[in-house]
Structure 1
């Protein structure tokens, strides 16, 4: 009985909030800000180290989660269609070897994404669910090789220095979300994206003899991005 009472009270409260919320209409600008977490879901090619014979790390690397502040703006082209720009402060990811308990390095990235959104309840008061499809450009920077990987490479290849670089990525993005009204202007925002992000990792090494070598492998990051924040309608 208590459970049913709590559900009824919550539903009534949501209904009251929804009734007082203005609809999204053509020309509106909706700004959203919150906390976004990138959860990589892809995989990595095997890593072949140029030893004699070659040393193969079949699991490649694992990319850890990253969290940053999200900054999102949508312009309503009509009551039901909008164009969204997703931006954020830089995400930082640690990178580990999948086959060994070794920290491989780290990187930062920015994932600007432009999407066309559909609002099925556009022009109506209350909750505003939406779906979107768009394009993502991810740029990587501040790549670093961890000292643990440096020690492994030093033992296998007599490496004296190593440098990591990641190619930028361009891919599709799909999203779903909802704005739950809190007032005429403010709403709670919940959103999720799936983004196609793939990159080639290059590790350039210098050995004690002065020889140079490059280890290259592809990494499909393909993350889910989860956002919790607030929305404000101008």
Structure 2
């Protein structure tokens, strides 16, 4: 059920938004393509008695937002899989993992008709870890990182380039905490809670 929750919430948001349309019936969608850097917080918890550090990662992103009023929109964020190293104090890199972090949210745009329009958003994040494998001191062991879902927040601004084109800069935060197992035995919880810095170009249609 936890795995499905983000998609249930996103579907509910979309259902609520669907009956409300712009009076002019145009430019209700914004497609943004760009990139983001996922920067985990400094202290990522303790694994097997050692302090853990999860590396940052940069990847291309795509975001689709439906504006159900000039001020309010719901969006879904996707990305190319991020790649992270997991390091333990005194041991170096002991695992590498990939993750996909689809994030769904609702955003309020303060000045949608202005050339510069700030916005704030809240939502839910689901992080799917996959391709995890042991390296270094743990090479030859089985390492797994549990999937995670949690709250997400967003702040940023749109810069209007033309009637159709815009540039967006934003910062997101997501609550990501995942159990880590070595040879099917839990060795701790990775507390990632990253800040995500993004920049993109958008097109209204």
Range class of TM-score, shorter chain: 0.7 to 0.9
The alignment's TM-score, normalised by the length of structure 1, stands at 0.73
- CA separation of 1:42 and 1:139: change in aligned 2, threshold 3 A: farther
1:77 aligns with 2:61: no
Q: Deviations over 1:34-84 (max 9, x none)?
A: 110000016344333xxxxxxx42x2x100001111100100011110001
The runs of 5 or more residues in structure 2 that have no matched partner are 1-20
Match in the other structure for 2:7: none
1:29 aligns with 2:18: no
Task: Give the secondary-structure state (helix, strand or coil) at the position aligned to 1:183.
Answer: coil
Runs of 4+ in 1 over 4 A off after TM superposition: none
- CA separation of 1:95 and 1:47: change in aligned 2, threshold 3 A: closer
- Hey, what's the Cα distance between the residues in 1 that align with 2:158 and 2:124? 22
Determine which of 130, 140, 143 is the counterpart of 1:141.
130
User: Comparing 213-222 with 194-203, which one deviates more in the overlay?
Assistant: 213-222
1:188 aligns with 2:167: yes
> What's the CA shift for 1:215?
4.5
Determine which of 101, 110, 122 is the counterpart of 2:100.
110
- Hey, what's the Cα distance between the residues in 2 that align with 1:107 and 1:94? 7
* 2:94–2:134 contact (8 Å) kept in structure 1: yes
The alignment's TM-score, normalised by the length of structure 2, stands at 0.83
Q: Deviations over 1:121-150 (max 9, x none)?
A: 13x24222111000111110000101x123
The runs of 5 or more residues in structure 1 that have no matched partner are 1-24, 49-55, 152-160, 205-212
Higher-Rg structure is 1
* 1:30–1:73 contact (8 Å) kept in structure 2: yes
* 2:179–2:186 contact (8 Å) kept in structure 1: no
Count the aligned residue pairs: 181
Match in the other structure for 1:94: 85
